[in-house]
Structure 1
Amino acid sequence: MKRMCLTFLLILTLAVPAMGKEITLILDWFPNVDHIPLYVAQQKGYFDEEGLGVKIIPPSESADALKLAAAGRAELGISYEPQALVAASEGIPLLVVGRLIGHPLSTVLYIEGRGIEKPQDLNGKPMGYTVAGMEDVLAKAFCELNEVTDYDLVHVEFAIVPSLVSGRVDSVMGGFRNYEVVELELKGYKPGYFALEEHGFPDYDELVVVANPTFAKKNPEAIRSIRKALSRATEYTLKNPKEALAVYLKAVPESDEKLEKLAFEKTLPFYAESQILDAERWRTFADFAHKVGLIERPVDVEPLLWKD
């Protein structure tokens, strides 16, 4: 579902696959409800109607989607706006061609009833973070923006819920407002969180579709078809949530149905409203990312975004 390593070992001389009817799409994480429009497009035949056979593959690690797309080893991948900007800042060839989740799911997560009601209450309390080089940078930015001056950062990796429940940390930067919130609720806790876009961060796309730029430029009709099918599937998901969830659960039968249903309810407001890649919105977040040290060099977002 989330968060990838920031050190990329890429073999950029590998050949870009020739265009054909079959498209490989690598997920950012294991299949989850964030990906429901992809499964709707696949299972309801929207990709087929566009003349494309799209194979959806989970990665072996969360960095694989962006790495494989950048290296030309997969046609498409699912990644995150912050990671795409990091890659662009490091000179990694990439093109963002679509959107899946249009607003941040990442939050500063905590458990209510433990003395935290506003960001300033984080003073004097250990704060966990997930991905080193990403979430620790964003944690520091959050603290600077919200008058939190006394804190210790603890790398909890992905043990978010256990670290909160045990009291090892009092909050975690990188907890998602759909999954970890539901996990806490199912354990009998009342979660609280500070939404990043409400506490000084620019709004951004949580999940995006990335492609090798050479492939995309050689096969623009395939990219347009993917975007059209994804837009259609997202519209179906929003209008028919019960049916869309059923499509996903049938396609991914190993899913925890109770968890996924609750997480889906929390995810619905965050699916991308359209496939429009707003350059000004991206530019605002890219400037913020450079200011807080998430990226070392400024990024010109224009070459990074698909233009139709």
Structure 2
Amino acid sequence: MKKRIILVISTLILLAAVPVMGAEQLKLMLDWFPNVDHLPIYLAQESGYFKDQGLTVEIITPSETSDGLKLAAAGQVDLAVSYQPQTIIAADQGLDLKAVAPLVIHPLTTLLFLDKTIKTPADLSGKNIGYTVPGLMDVLLHAFANLNGVKNYTPINVGFTILPALVSGKVDAVMGPFKTYETVVMKQQGYTARFFELENNGIPDYEELIFVAGSKTLAKKEAAIHKFTKAIQLAMAQLETDPTTALKLYLKAVPEADANVETAAFELTRPYFAGQNSHDPAKWQAFADFALTYGLIKNHVDTAGLIHTWHE
């Protein structure tokens, strides 16, 4: 009798330790450390939307922001969170990728500064201007300067040491910080951040964050990836109707997050989350054409072939 009880208990423990039978597993790599931009992903996990779709999703944090695209193209992860501009650049460089769904549908990236005497972009003429990501933010800075009459500035790579670079006077502004996140962190530390929004100063509107898959992975796992996008849309709907619960579930899933920062950032980010499962082809092509003009890419990219369209 005792052996039978032990066998039953052992079986129950084993069953609890393995994925739900029949569930398809997907590996998702984030673009950076977990933060409120990823809230719909963790909400889908915590609310059981992935499970309801017959999926188990492993969420992985990268070492570098570019890791996800490379690993997705190589089929080493099934999905990656990335950015529309980087995805267009990667396609120009020959990576075989497909954008499968939007996450944040407008730019969060800004040209940020602390100096309250700066009123217009032209006031940055002759100043030191930092940038965060070489090969992207320095080129966007160049385009922004050309479009807005910023003359004789000095570009400086500050990486992600944004606030120290500004406070020390090393730079007068930085291209790359998010208006929904770095501004909150700075406020918490006693600084009032000001910024110019890219899309209101000549840079075409674009989707800040998207989900990307390698083309071969998408062909092999199209049904599962479609289910993933449906689960994300359910999470989007929940955060729209019940943001308080959505935030609580996110903070439960990411206990290491600073609740004060994440709460304030969530309120700023909420309007930018995608409300649909599809990309805007015109927006994509407009940015790709802009990227070619200003040297982000070397060749014309037909973004129609880069976007995957779901047929519900």
TM-score scaled by length of structure 2: 0.90
Task: Give the C-alpha shift of residue 218 in structure 1.
Answer: 2.4
Q: Percent identity?
A: 47
CA distance in structure 2 between the partners assigned to 1:173 and 1:250 by the alignment: 32
SS in 2 for 1:249: helix
Match of 2:216 among 214, 217, 242: 214
Amino acid at match of 1:173: M
Aligned equivalent of 2:47: 44
Aligned equivalent of 2:232: 230
8 Å Cα contact 1:96-1:211 kept in structure 2 = yes
CA distance in structure 2 between the partners assigned to 1:269 and 1:163 by the alignment: 30
Aligned equivalent of 1:29: 32
Which is further off, 122-131 or 60-69?
Answer: 60-69
8 Å Cα contact 1:161-1:183 kept in structure 2 = no
8 Å Cα contact 1:69-1:76 kept in structure 2 = yes
Over residues 61-96 of structure 1, what are the superposed CA-to-partner deviations in whole Å (9 max), with x where a residue is unaligned?
Answer: 222111110100011111100110011001111111
What aligned pairs does 1:174-189 form with structure 2 within 5 A after superposition? Answer: 174-189=176-191
CA distance in structure 1 between the partners assigned to 2:115 and 2:259 by the alignment: 26
Task: Give the C-alpha shift of residue 20 in structure 1.
Answer: 7.0
CA distance in structure 2 between the partners assigned to 1:60 and 1:109 by the alignment: 25
Aligned equivalent of 2:175: 173
Amino acid at match of 1:111: L
Aligned equivalent of 1:270: 272
Match of 1:250 among 229, 252, 263: 252
Task: Give the C-alpha shift of residue 166 in structure 1.
Answer: 1.7
Larger radius of gyration: 2
CA distance in structure 1 between the partners assigned to 2:134 and 2:221 by the alignment: 36
8 Å Cα contact 2:24-2:54 kept in structure 1 = yes
Amino acid at match of 1:32: N
Aligned equivalent of 2:201: 199
1:150 aligns with 2:136: no
8 Å Cα contact 2:115-2:172 kept in structure 1 = no
Match of 1:259 among 234, 258, 261: 261
Aligned residues: 289
Which is further off, 237-246 or 82-91?
Answer: 237-246
Amino acid at match of 2:230: K
8 Å Cα contact 1:112-1:190 kept in structure 2 = no
Aligned equivalent of 2:12: none
Task: Give the C-alpha shift of residue 197 in structure 1.
Answer: 0.4
Aligned equivalent of 1:137: 139
8 Å Cα contact 2:70-2:95 kept in structure 1 = no
8 Å Cα contact 2:23-2:56 kept in structure 1 = no
Over residues 181-221 of structure 1, what are the superposed CA-to-partner deviations in whole Å (9 max), with x where a residue is unaligned?
Answer: 11221121211100000000111100110001112122221
SS in 1 for 2:207: coil
Which is further off, 210-219 or 119-128?
Answer: 210-219
CA distance in structure 2 between the partners assigned to 1:58 and 1:258 by the alignment: 22
Q: Give unpaired runs (5+ residues) of structure 2.
A: 1-21
Over residues 24-45 of structure 1, what are the superposed CA-to-partner deviations in whole Å (9 max), with x where a residue is unaligned?
Answer: 1000000000000000111101
Aligned equivalent of 2:303: 301
TM-score scaled by length of structure 1: 0.91
CA distance in structure 2 between the partners assigned to 1:274 and 1:137 by the alignment: 30
Task: Give the C-alpha shift of residue 123 in structure 1.
Answer: 0.8
Over residues 70-125 of structure 1, what are the superposed CA-to-partner deviations in whole Å (9 max), with x where a residue is unaligned?
Answer: 10001111110011001100111111101111111100001142x20111110111
Amino acid at match of 2:108: L
Which segments of structure 1 move beyond 4 Å, counting only runs of 4 or more?
Answer: none
CA distance in structure 1 between the partners assigned to 2:145 and 2:197 by the alignment: 13
8 Å Cα contact 2:23-2:54 kept in structure 1 = no
CA distance in structure 2 between the partners assigned to 1:275 and 1:293 by the alignment: 30
Amino acid at match of 1:219: K
SS in 1 for 2:133: coil
What aligned pairs does 1:30-179 form with structure 2 within 5 A after superposition? Answer: 30-113=33-116, 115-179=117-181
Q: Give unpaired runs (5+ residues) of structure 1.
A: 1-18
